[in-house]
Amino acid sequence: MREIWGSVEAAFSLLFHPDRYLLSTILVSFKVSGIALLICFPVSAALAAAISLGRFPGRGAVKLLVRTAMGLPSVVVGLLVLLVLSEAGPFKGLLWTPRAMVISQLVLITPLVLGVMISSLEGVSRRVAEAAHVLGANRLQVAWAVMREARLGFLTAAVAGFGRAIAEVGSVLIVGGNIAWADGTSYTRTLTTAIVVESRKGNFEAALAFGIVLMVLVLAVNLVLGLLGRPEEAR
């Protein structure tokens, strides 16, 4: 118990007086997860609109596939991305770089973000689409009207996607390589992989400190997004 309290104290002193190691690790974590989300969000929004509003054969199968992929184990994703990046081809040279991590994060969170978006679009009444249509909206404008009704669900999708990406260990460890330079700057080491390293070395205080930093930062991100997503009545 004393060990935990000591670690908590150490964690907070680290938070207020961050060293280069911590700062660069936070930066890598946020950069990789943030870029993955920025790429994933618009692509998923367009796909979700096409899947839930479009009429094409095999829609049910596509949705089932997306829902299944929502629970992809991250080590499996890491392994698959590792195999693809190891092949000679357009991705040659990306292995063990932050870009490789962005790719594996994308594969990991896109089904989750897409799945939440599809559910929220399907929760919007068909009547909204009809109302937009009979006021003269074309197909794209109808889709936009329905997406606006689903905006809270889209925010949830973003929060869930970012949360999964930043809390994820398995795939970034495999394709990123958990590299930190000798001067203590992180290259592909994230907050989560740092926890793995520090606890393996027996530095439980540092490991716990990284964990607390991670949770505090995720909390901060959620608070900001939560403010954005408050229903307008409450503003």
Partner 1 sequence: MRAVLVARDLHFRYGRHEALRGVDLAVRRGEILAVVGPNGAGKTTLFRLLTLYLRPQRGSVEYFFGGRPTPAREARRRIAAVLQEPSLFSTDVFGNVAYGLLLRAPFGERLRTRLSRGLRRLGLHLPPSPIEKRVEVALETVGLAGFTSRRASSLSRGEAQRVALARALVLEPEVLFLDEPTASLDPESAVIVERIIRWFREDGRTVLLTTHDPGQARRLADRIVRLAEGRIVETEEITKGEAAPPPPAPLGG
- Could you give the CA distance from residue 3 to residue 5 in angstroms, rounded to a whole number? 6
* CA-CA-CA-CA torsion sign (49, 229, 217, 183): positive
Q: Which residues bind partner 1 (CB under 8 A)?
A: 125, 127-128, 130-138, 141, 145, 148-149, 232-233
In angstroms, give the least distance from the CB of 231 to partner 1.
Answer: 9
In angstroms, give the least distance from the CB of 91 to partner 1.
Answer: 41
Do the Cβ atoms of 51 and 150 come closer than 8 Å? no
**Which residue lies nearer to partner 1 by CB, 9 or 130?**
130
In angstroms, give the least distance from the CB of 144 to partner 1.
Answer: 10
In angstroms, give the least distance from the CB of 151 to partner 1.
Answer: 9
**Which residue lies nearer to partner 1 by CB, 149 or 212?**
149
**Which residue lies nearer to partner 1 by CB, 183 or 233?**
233
**Which residue lies nearer to partner 1 by CB, 137 or 169?**
137
Q: State which amino acid sits at residue 94.
A: L
Nearest to 117 by CA among 75, 177, 68, 158: 158
CA 178 from chain centre, in angstroms, equals: 18
In angstroms, give the least distance from the CB of 152 to partner 1.
Answer: 9
For 16, 43, 203, 207, 212, the CA distances from 3, given in Å and listed in that order, are: 20, 45, 11, 12, 14
For 34, 69, 83, 101, the CA distances from 50, given in Å and listed in that order, are: 24, 18, 31, 28
**Which residue lies nearer to partner 1 by CB, 17 or 127?**
127
CA 187 from chain centre, in angstroms, equals: 19
